[in-house]
Amino acid sequence: MSLPFFKYQGTGNDFIIIDGILNNLKSIDNSVVARLCDRKFGIGADGLMIIAKHENFSFEMVYYNSDGGLSTMCGNGGRCIAALAHKLGYCGPEVHFIAADGPHFASIEGDEVALGMADVDTIDIIKSSEYVLNTGSPHYVRFTEKEDLTNIVEEGKKIRYSEKYISAGINVNLCFWDGLILHVATYERGVEDETLSCGTGVTAAALATAHHYHLESPLLVQTKGGRLKVSFQRHDTSYTQVVLKGPATPVFTGEIELK
């Protein structure tokens, strides 16, 4: 079966996207996903998404990590899939779609997409500078010195494969707040490596930073792949109206044989 695909990236977080509505497709075998995402033997990507048909929404976002496993919400992926769905005519510039963590709204303006993220009810304090919260995917956030962000793979593996998190898995973010911009490096479960950007990680880091330093919305976040903005409404220890905004960029299109 020859299948058309689209390659998109959001601040260096890259994705293969399949039009499942046109191709009547809602799932792909895990081993095939892993092969397509492989940077040596496939197209290469941090994840794969399917624009799937849904009765009550513009579309359903079906998301796979690069290891082939179905996963939870992906913020940059959500922005990219909304941009493509709009380009393909499945929605207008204001879109309402559903993902693994529930419904999402997105607004498309040129090459920028603002994505409504899940509310965060609680932020768990592990230590004075370490937090755990769920922004559609589970994230560990630690504040450190800027130079320590280069150690994200080493530190990320230690935490992700620790006894506490090895079963369910967790994404790991190291952060540095310079007084104006939040700098973030992320180790992603399912990719099992650093990604140049992680939307749910950036969101988790921004909310943890607002909580830690008592900051107001919005926050600018610098990843190794580019800059994003996170806005929110703060209510003591919970956060609502969380929005992740940044570029969603087409890279190339093609066709590949599914075997």
Listed in sequence order, the DSSP H helices in the chain are: 30-37, 75-87, 152-160, 199-213
Backbone CA torsion sign across 34, 36, 38, 44: negative
Backbone CA torsion sign across 152, 157, 158, 162: positive
| Contact (CB, 8 A) for 254 and 40 | no
Strands 102-109 and 94-99, how do they pair? antiparallel
Q: Which of 74, 80, 91, 175 is labelled catalytic?
A: 74
| Contact (CB, 8 A) for 230 and 242 | yes
Q: Which of 80, 91, 175, 198 is labelled catalytic?
A: 198
Residue type, 226: G
Active site residue 80: no
Q: Which residues contact 76 (CB under 8 A, 6 or more apart)?
A: 10, 11, 13, 15, 197, 198, 199, 246, 248
Active site residue 175: no
Active site residues: 74, 198
